[in-house]
Amino acid sequence: MSSYYLINLLIYAAVDGMACLGLSQQFGVGGVTNFGFIIFQAAGGYTAAILAMPPDSANGGFQSYIGGWNLPFPVPWIGAAVVGGLIALPFTFLVGRRLRGDFAAVGLLVTAVLLNLLATNFVPAFNGDAGLSLIPQPLQGEFIPQSSGYQWGFTAVALLLCAGVYVFLRRITESPYGRSLRAMRDNDAVADSLGKNVLSLRTGMLVLGGAIAGLSGGVLVSYITTWSPAAWGYAETVVLFAAVIIGGTGNHRGALLGAVLVPVGFEEVTRFIPTSNNLPPNLIPSLEWVAIGLLILVFLWFRPQGVLPERKRVIALPAEHSPTVAIGERPAAAVSAGQARPVVLEAVSLVRDFGGVRAVDGVSLAVRQGTLTGLIGPNGAGKSTLLAILAGTLPASSGTVVYRGQDITAMPAFRRARLGLVRTFQLASEFKRLTVMENLLSAVPANRGDSLRGAIAGKRYWKADEAAAIARAQAVLARFGLESLANDYAGDLSGGQRRLVEIMRALMAEPGMLLLDEPMAGVHPHLARLIGNELVALCREGMTILMVEHELAIMDEFCDPVAVMADGRLLAEGTMAELRRRSEVVEAYLAG
C-alpha cells in the first residue's frame, strides 16, 4: 500500500467523519432531518475555494467565480465554517413547530436538488458544470504540496480537526442543552409545553451542523483542489444518512464508524472489483447506489439503533438527600380556606373553531389559588381543547387568557411554561429514549447548561445547577415511590408509571399552576388514588391545578370546585354535591 493511498484514505475518513458527526448532531441528537445537508458542505467548499483563489482573471480567466480574495490559510477554512453556518438561517422558517417534520425534510431535499441545478447552470458565480479547479492548497507558498511531509501534515491536521469536532459535539450532547435536544427529538410538542424554545433549539442545530458541514467541505476542497456541483448531488446526503443510521443514530462514535464503513468503505471496496470490458461503464457505480439504498432499508428493519446504539445516560443517585426539598414553584403562601383566594388563571369568552366545528364556544372560567379544580363533560365536550388553549398548545379563535394578571393569549406555549403554567397530555408523552431521571431533569428551568453557550462553557459551568436538579428530581421520585426506576428508559415503563413520570416531570418545571389532561386515565385504581392524594397535598402546599377527567368518582373524591362542559360550553360550576342536584348537568352526562 503506497503512502499516497493511505493519506488519501485518512483525509477522506476525516472529511466524511466530520460531515457524519455534523449530521449525527442534527439528526441523531436534535431530530432535525436535514435532507439538504450536502448543500452546506458544498457551500463551505465553494467558500474555501474563492477565499483562497486569486481573482478570476488569473490563469487567463478560464473560469469565473465571485471574489478570489487570495487569503492565507486558515482563513478559507474558517470562512467555510462560517458560511456553512450562516446559510442555515434562511431555512429556519421550515423547521418551526408549525410544519410537520417530514414536510420540512422534503422542503430541504427539494432545496438541495434545486440549488445544485442552479449552481450547474449559473456560470458567472459557479463556473457552471465545469466547477472550479486550481484551488490553492493551504500554505502552498511556504511548503511543497507534493512532498510527503506536506501530505502527512495535511492528514494530521484533518484528523485533528475531526477529533476536535467529536470532542466539541460530545461536550454539547452530554450537557443539559443536549438533553433538551434529545427531549425535543423524542417529542417536540411536549418539549414545547415544558418551556423549551423548539425553534431556537432547531436553529441552533441547523447552524451548528451547517458550520461543521461547511468546514468539512472546505478541508476537502483544499485537498482535492477542485470544486464541482456534480459532486454534491442530493443523493450524497442519503449516503451520509446511511452512514449515521448504520453507525448508530444519536451516538457520535457510531457516526465516525458509519463514515468509515459507508462513504469511505464503499469507495475502497469498489476499487477491488475487477473491471471488465464486458461490463457497462455505469454498472458498478449504479450498483453501489442500489447497495446503499438496500443497506438503509435492511438496517432500519433489522437494527434501527445501528451498530453502536445510543448510550444510556445513567445518573448515580446520591445516597443521602434532604427530604425537605420544595417541589412546587414556591412554598404555600398560607392560603386560608374560603372564597377569598386570588384568581390565578382566568379564561374570558374563549372560542376555538376547527373548520366548521366550534369545539369551544365562549367559555369563561376562573381558577383560584390552591384549588384542585375539576373539568368534566362527555366525550367531545371540548375539555381537552380548552386545556390546550389555556396552555398555548392551540391558539384561541377569540377570547383572552389571563395568568396571574398578565394577558397571555398570544404567548407561545413554551413562554407560558416558563411563567409557571405547565400542562400534561392525554396521550402518553414521555421522552422515550431518555431515562426517567433524564425526563425529570429535562423539565428543570434555568439550568445554566441548558443553552448552547452554557453547553460550550463546559461541565464546570453548569455542574452546580445540575447537582441541585438531580437532588430535586430524587426528592420527587421518592415522593412518588419511583426511585428504583430512575435509570430505566421511560419508553419501557408501564402505562401507569408513564403517567407518574409525566406528572413528576411537570412538577420539575417549577409550575405555579398545573393543567392536567386526564392524568388518571388507564391507570390502575390504586395508582390513581395515589396520584389523586398527591395532587390534593400539592394544592394544600399552594399549587393550583385544573384537571380534566371524566370519571365522576375521581371528581367526587378529589376535586373542588368542579366545572362541567358540554358541546363546547360551560354548563355549570360548583361542588360535586351541588352539581348532582342540577338537572341540566345530569342530562348532559346521560345524553352525552
Q: How far is the CB of 491 from another protein (least distance, A)?
A: 12
Binding residue for another protein, selected from 61, 100, 320, 339, defined by CB under 8 A: 100
Q: Which helix (H) or strand (E) holds 213?
A: helix 198-224
Binding residue for another protein, selected from 111, 173, 180, 424, defined by CB under 8 A: 111
Cell of 399: 377570547
Q: How far is CA 350 from CA 138, 246, 343, 409, in A?
A: 64, 49, 17, 10
Residues 6+ apart with CB under 8 A from 227: 42, 45, 46, 49, 131, 132, 133, 135, 221
Q: Helix, strand, or coil here: 401?
A: strand
Please identify, among the stretches 43-51, 98-106, 456-464, 523-531, the one whose residues bind another protein according to the rule CB under 8 A: 98-106
Please identify, among the stretches 107-115, 176-184, 457-465, 524-532, the one whose residues bind another protein according to the rule CB under 8 A: 107-115
Please identify, among the stretches 62-70, 170-178, 232-240, 364-372, the one whose residues bind another protein according to the rule CB under 8 A: 232-240
CB of 105 or CB of 504, closer to another protein: 105
Q: Does 314 bind another protein (CB under 8 A)?
A: no
Find the radius of gyration of the CA atoms of the chain: 29
List b or e across 259-292, with b for residues whose CB sees 16 or more CB atoms inside 10 angstroms: bbbbbbbbeeeeeeeeeeeeeeeeeeeeebeebb
Residues 237-276: x/- map of binding to another protein (CB under 8 A)?
A: -x--xx--x-------------------------------
Please identify, among the stretches 101-109, 206-214, 449-457, 555-563, the one whose residues bind another protein according to the rule CB under 8 A: 101-109
- Answer positive or negative: Cα dihedral of 16, 17, 20, 21: negative
Binding residue for another protein, selected from 87, 94, 135, 473, defined by CB under 8 A: 94
Note every long-range contact of 154-160, with CB atoms under 8 Å and residues 24 or more positions apart, other chains counting.
Answer: 154/7, 154/11, 154/223, 155/7, 155/10, 155/11, 155/14, 158/10, 158/11, 158/14, 158/15, 158/219, 158/223, 159/10, 159/13, 159/14
Binding residue for another protein, selected from 99, 261, 411, 475, defined by CB under 8 A: 99
CB of 395 or CB of 592, closer to another protein: 395
Q: Helix, strand, or coil here: 309?
A: coil
Residues 25-64: x/- map of binding to another protein (CB under 8 A)?
A: --------x-x-----------------------------
Count of chain residues binding another protein (CB under 8 A): 47
Peptide bond into 561 cis (omega under 30): yes
Please identify, among the stretches 108-116, 170-178, 334-342, 512-520, the one whose residues bind another protein according to the rule CB under 8 A: 108-116
Binding residue for another protein, selected from 289, 333, 459, 463, defined by CB under 8 A: 289
Maximal C-alpha separation, the chain: 96
Which residue bears the cell 464541482? 228
Q: Does 117 bind another protein (CB under 8 A)?
A: yes
Q: How far is CA 252 from CA 5, 482, 503, 515, in A?
A: 26, 31, 32, 37
- Spatial strand order in the sheet of 406-407: 357-368, 343-354, 398-403, 406-407
Binding residue for another protein, selected from 60, 61, 141, 280, defined by CB under 8 A: 280
Binding residue for another protein, selected from 235, 269, 273, 467, defined by CB under 8 A: 235
| Distance from C-alpha of 294 to C-alpha of 296, rounded to nearest angstrom | 5
Q: How far is the CB of 279 from another protein (least distance, A)?
A: 10
Q: How far is the CB of 446 from another protein (least distance, A)?
A: 31
In Å, how far from its chain's centre is CA 73? 35
Binding residue for another protein, selected from 290, 314, 326, 464, defined by CB under 8 A: 290
| Distance from C-alpha of 173 to C-alpha of 190, rounded to nearest angstrom | 20
Q: How far is the CB of 510 from another protein (least distance, A)?
A: 31
Q: Does 106 bind another protein (CB under 8 A)?
A: yes
Binding residue for another protein, selected from 320, 355, 405, 590, defined by CB under 8 A: 355
Binding residue for another protein, selected from 199, 261, 300, 478, defined by CB under 8 A: 300
Q: Are 42 and 19 in contact (CB under 8 A)?
A: no
Q: Does 109 bind another protein (CB under 8 A)?
A: yes
Q: Which residues bind another protein (CB under 8 A)?
A: 33, 35, 93-94, 98-107, 109-111, 113-114, 117-118, 121-122, 234-235, 238, 241-242, 245, 280-283, 286-290, 292-294, 296-297, 300-301, 304, 355
